[in-house]
Amino acid sequence: MPEKTIAIMGGGAAGLMAADILSPHCEVRIYEKGKALGRKFLVAGNGGFNLTNSAEGEALYSKYTAQEFLQPALKAFNSEASRNWLAGLGIPTFVGSSGRVFPEKGIKPIEVLQKIKDRLKAQGVQFHFQHEFIRFNFENKPVIKFKEKEITVEADHYIFALGGASWPVTGSSGNWLEVFRLLGVKTIPFQSSNCGVNVNWPVDFKEKFAGEPLKNLQVSVGDFSLKGEALITEYGLEGNAIYPVVPKIREALNAGKEAFLTLDFKPQNTVGQLLQKVQGKQIQPKNYEQLFNLSKAQLALIKLFTAKEDYLDPEKFIQKMKNLEVPVSSLRPIEEAISTVGGIALEEVNHDFTLKKFPHIAVVGEMLDWDAPTGGFLLQGCFSTAYFAAQAILKKLNFSH
């Protein structure tokens, strides 16, 4: 039987994983519009290179918005499988804070990428750089642009791993959305996720406090809350306590409702414990900073969103310190977001990530409409979906698992 050909559109994390699984059995070609592989992979590495997260089972699945849809893929190739795969490439890993998994100290992102590339080359994968997917032809085959020439890509199966719309500097502009829409596939416009939020600070506040951290903070939106840190910026707030609540903020804004972050500056203390510090005492607002161990930035932020009479009353001040509502006007633009939601609507996709209308086309990674927090979960989602789609193709071609 002649060797089957698989064409992979996109040389990011998902495309590379799919190529690794398929190339021992098939002829695999990767078409990448840039001059190099894994550019987003490298940019992500600049902020601490977490490759996955050690969460397992429900703790892993629950991090994804499309949990039911993604769970089979996450179960088939979980975070432990990712670590074993990396170890097989010669990349030992360790578990850091919050379950984040990193390459062992001294291993740079470029080295991880090179190890993957070396293995793919050894397995016969062909790389076609500066080949940009631009449209489908009348036979629903992808058309690539290379040096002003348009080339129809012939293959037995196609895997699209073009990424979402975040970090467009790396090439993932998301402009493929319209191409799939014209194919008759339902798509959802991209929106920012894992990003900062815009707050309309007064000029004097942002001049004085932009760049100041808010530590030991609990942030809540509706019934969802988490502890972490935030940073006051010129535009609003960002940080590990902000990114995970963005989906709830986005939901409110999309519904045309007012969106608020509720900040608790003393999550380790109950209101009762804090009230004991002021009861029966003459407390002046000038004592708040020392009495409650607040930074100048925290104090200024509480003051900003507290009525004067409440600020002057220590008991009411405590209530605000535990439940300060900060209005959010909007999310930061996609260009600044760590990830995006939107893309191919999941109702268009089979359980094996092929398109229902075009079963010879699989779509993986951030092209699909799912969301997850930072901390290794985004990359894990890309690995898992690509692995699952690739294994499904092998099964169709009668290769054993």
Q: Report how far residue 170's alpha carbon sits from residue 334's, in angstroms, rounded to the nearest whole number.
A: 13
Q: Is the pLDDT of residue 401 over 80?
A: no
Digit-coded pLDDT (tens) for 89-131: 999 999 998 899 999 988 998 999 999 999 999 999 999 999 9
What number is the average pLDDT over the span 342-367? 97
Residue 121: both structure tokens together = 């080359």
Domain co-membership, 52 together with 181:
yes
The pLDDT of residue 175 = 86
Burial class (CB in 10 A: 0-12, 13-18, 19+), 134: middle
How much is the mean pLDDT over the chain?
94
What number is the average pLDDT over the span 335-347? 94
Q: Is the pLDDT of residue 87 over 90?
A: yes
Q: Where are the alpha helices (DSSP H) in 37-108?
A: 39-44, 57-61, 67-76, 79-88
Q: Does residue 401 belong to any structural domain of this protein?
A: no
Domain co-membership, 218 together with 141:
no
Confidence category of residue 39, pLDDT binned at 50, 70, 90 = confident
What number is the average pLDDT over the span 232-248? 96
Q: Which helix (H) or strand (E) holds 235?
A: none
Q: Does residue 150 belong to any structural domain of this protein?
A: yes
Domain co-membership, 159 together with 10:
yes
Q: Which of 282, 305, 331 is the last residue of a domain?
A: 331
What number is the average pLDDT over the span 14-30? 97
CA 295 to chain centre: 31
Termini Cα distance of the chain: 19
Domain co-membership, 319 together with 275:
yes
The pLDDT of residue 18 = 98
Domain extent, residue 99, equals: 5-193+336-396
The pLDDT of residue 171 = 57
Domain co-membership, 236 together with 107:
no
Asked if residues 179 and 28 have their Cβ atoms less than 8 Å apart, the reply is no
Digit-coded pLDDT (tens) for 180-217: 999 999 999 999 999 999 999 999 999 999 999 999 99
Q: What is the dihedral of CA 213, 214, 215, 217, to 10 degrees?
A: -150
